[in-house]
Amino acid sequence: MHRAEFLDQLVKHIPKDIAKFGKHVESLENVDEGIKLRFSDGTETIHQAIIGCDGMKSKTRKYVLGEDTPVTSAKYTGKYCHRGLVPMDKAVEALGEDLAQNSSLYVGYHEHILTYPVQRGKTMNGKQVYET
């Protein structure tokens, strides 16, 4: 499933007056009323529960697991990943129907390429991962 499509489907189930998007969490703090979130735009809010989807520089992960826990900080792995989305008709034209419309994994020395359909088969997703 394409991530943007998945998020669009989730958002449909959230009342419009509840969720705010495009916010950047600066800090989290336990307070008597719950968890206080401070945002980069200067606003604050308090909630009873939070769901952290804030990426590899996650403030939420550090809040939950602790500042000094090794798993809270991203580390360079020595690998790069390139991703591309190709309209399925172009992928079929270039690779043939079988390779374009089915998940495939190509493994080489210190790298691999993974392809699979997304967006209900309208698009082929391709990822190349390699070491530097």
- Give the residue numbers annotated as catalytic, written as ranges: 83
Tokens 């360079």 -> residue: 76
Where helices occur in the chain by DSSP H, the ranges are 3-11, 59-65, 88-95, 97-101
> CA 7, 17, 28, 48 torsion: positive or negative?
negative
- Starting at the edge strand found earlier in the chain, the sheet holding 123-131 runs 79-87, 123-131, 111-118, 104-108
Secondary structure of residue 103 in the 3-state scheme: coil
What does the alpha-carbon distance between residue 38 and residue 90 come to, in Å, rounded to a whole number? 45
How far does CA 31 lie from the centroid of its chain? 29
